[in-house]
Structure 1
Amino acid sequence: MFIENKNYSYKGIQFTIRSAIKSDAERLSEVRYIIDGETENMDRVQGENYLSTSDFISIIKIDEQSAHNLFLVALIDDQIVGFSRCEGISLARFAHKVEFGLAVLQDYWGFSIGYNLLKESVHWADSANIKKITLNVTENNVNAIKLYKKFNFIEEGLLRHEKLLADGVYHHTVLMGRINNVHK
């Protein structure tokens, strides 16, 4: 699925959010690899579950053809600095929901990029009649949890001792969801 390009300005930084296209694949592979090394907020350590340019081309192609998938990129000076993805499930009992993920290069934290990627994803989901958006976030990622709560995500569960971080401690994963107009 595609959205129209949206331009933003925050703290003197101009950026654009748009749907990912195949020519973004090489930079997406690089950015994902970098982000995995910058923060422990992701599920992977740097280099694990590496996605190549061709892997991203395949993902983008699938997302272009699916009414229940949305892949967004954030660009500054035509360079990708972050991305988000909503991935639907094709099984009939789960076709009403998508799983959300978000990543922004650390140099661009605090510029409202993640906020606007999430805002555009939520807007798309609401207009596409998606009833539920789910996500997982490590308990100590308090800024992300606050951001999700601003968009009416609620904590739905806790996976205890789910993720082993560099501090040698097992951290909990918070399961969050946002429900949009679900009736019996």
Structure 2
Amino acid sequence: MIYKGKTVVLKDGRVAVLRSPKAEDAEGLLKFLQICAVETEFILRNADECGLTLETEKQFILNAVSSPEIMMITAFIDGEVVGNCQFSFKNLEKVKHRAGIAIGTLKKCWGSGLGAELMTALCEEAKNCGIEQMELEYIDGNIRAEKFYKKMGFTEFARRPDAVRIGGVSHSDVWMLRRL
């Protein structure tokens, strides 16, 4: 699906453009993923595991924007990818009311309101698609994510113990949902 796009002014005055990514954004998205993997340990990939090729990323983008079950929204400041999010759902009668989401921003945008802008846009678009429940998971110990998701109206509904190991330390996955 294609997001219509919009421009937002962040709390610090920077201007961000939110839109669906295009194939020519693949290099910027790959760089974004690599930076995120370095800036926080609370994503599933380590920096050395972000080995997607430019062609693979281009194809991923093309598949996402042409899919009736996926929406990606990418945030740009001065042409740089600084945030990305998506929802996806299965168009099966019994579960088509639910969508899984993922979201991330660069550290230099933390606290700027960019995450809230992305999440709000994502939830609005999901609701327009008939989605009634947004679901996500985060790694226990990620206090910033926990506070952000609660602020955005998500509530915890389950935990999966020993789901992730960071530096040999076991962490649970925390599952949250938000009714739209």
TM, length-normalised to structure 1:
0.89
Query: What is the letter of the counterpart of residue 169 of structure 1?
Result: V
Q: Distance in 1 between matches of 2:153 and 2:8?
A: 22
Matched residue SS, 1:157:
strand
The answer as to 2:89 corresponding to 1:88 is yes
Identity of aligned residues (%): 26
Partner of 2:108: 107
Matches within 5 A, 1:42-53: 42-48=43-49, 50-53=51-54
Counterpart of 1:38 in structure 2 is 39
3-state DSSP class of the match of 1:94? coil
Partner Cα separation in structure 2 for residue 72 and residue 47 of structure 1: 25
| Distance in structure 1 (CA, Å) of the matches to 2:93 and 2:26 | 30
Task: Verify the 8 A CA contact 2:157 2:175 in the aligned structure 1.
Answer: yes
Q: Which amino acid aligns with 2:81?
A: I
Q: Runs ≥4 in structure 1, deviation > 4 angstroms?
A: none
Name the amino acid aligned to 2:8: Y
Look up the SS of the partner of 1:149 in the other structure: helix
| Separation in structure 2 between the aligned mates of residue 143 and residue 37 of structure 1, nearest angstrom | 16
**How many Å separate the matches in 1 of 2:73 and 2:61?**
10
- The code of the aligned residue for 2:161 comes to R
In the alignment, structure 1 segments of 5+ residues that lack a partner are: none
Q: How far off its partner does 1:29 sit?
A: 1.1
Q: Using the TM superposition, give the Cα deviation of residue 71 of structure 1 relative to its aligned residue in structure 2, in angstroms.
A: 0.7
Tell me the amino acid that sits aligned with residue 169 of structure 2: V
CA offsets 1:128-147 (integer angstroms, 9 cap, x no match): 11122211101211221222
Equivalent residue, structure 2, for 1:174: 174
Q: Is the 8 A contact 1:131 1:179 kept in 2?
A: yes
Task: Please tell me whether residue 12 in structure 1 is matched to residue 27 in structure 2.
Answer: no
Q: CA RMSD in A?
A: 1.6
Aligned to 1:125: 126
Question: CA offset at residue 95 of structure 1?
Answer: 2.7
Task: Answer whether contact 1:14 1:76 (CA < 8 A) is retained.
Answer: yes
Distance 1:94 1:54, change over 3 A: farther
Structure 1 position 25, deviation (Å): 0.9
TM-score scaled by length of structure 2: 0.91
